[in-house]
């Protein structure tokens, strides 16, 4: 069953390739949606997939790329309004 989450991540995650890391892992796992930097220095992700894949994706996000430091990840289940075809980086 397809579900959608809004995922907010804080820490030292801008300028370390975090969005590219998220896109790579999402594509590997089969997650669709998007990632972008937020104004407060964090990262915002909308992710669609099945529950197991989303949880695996969040596990990868907790680790992050080499130079990242993830302080907090919060996720909110959202209503699925439309399906994404891929996982993209938004500016």
Whole-number Cα distances in Å, 18 to 62, 66, 70, 71, 78: 11, 9, 10, 13, 23
Looking at 19, 39, 67, 69, which residue is catalytic?
19
What integer pLDDT is reported at residue 44 of this predicted model?
98
Nearest residue to 25 via CA among 53, 66, 67: 53
Question: Would you call 50 a catalytic residue per the annotation?
Answer: no
- Looking at the domain 3-82, which fold is it? Alpha-Beta Plaits (3.30.70)
What integer pLDDT is reported at residue 81 of this predicted model?
85
What integer pLDDT is reported at residue 91 of this predicted model?
85
- Regarding pTM above 0.85, the answer is yes
* 3 state DSSP class of 73: strand
Question: Would you call 67 a catalytic residue per the annotation?
Answer: no
Residue ranges of the alpha helices (H) in 1-91?
Answer: 18-29, 51-63
Q: List the pLDDT tens digit at each of the 91 positions of the chain.
A: 899 999 999 999 999 999 999 999 999 999 999 999 999 899 999 999 999 999 999 999 999 999 999 999 999 999 998 899 999 999 8
Looking at 37, 39, 40, 69, which residue is catalytic?
37
């Amino acid at each position: 069953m397809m579900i959608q989450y809004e995922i907010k991540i804080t820490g030292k995650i801008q300028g370390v390739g975090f969005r590219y890391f998220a896109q790579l892992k999402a594509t590997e796992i089969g997650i669709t949606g998007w990632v972008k930097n937020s104004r407060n220095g964090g990262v915002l992700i909308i992710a669609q997939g099945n529950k197991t894949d989303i949880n695996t994706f969040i596990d990868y996000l907790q680790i992050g790329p080499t130079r990242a430091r993830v302080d907090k990840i919060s996720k909110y289940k959202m209503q699925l309004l439309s399906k994404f075809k891929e996982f993209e980086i938004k500016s």
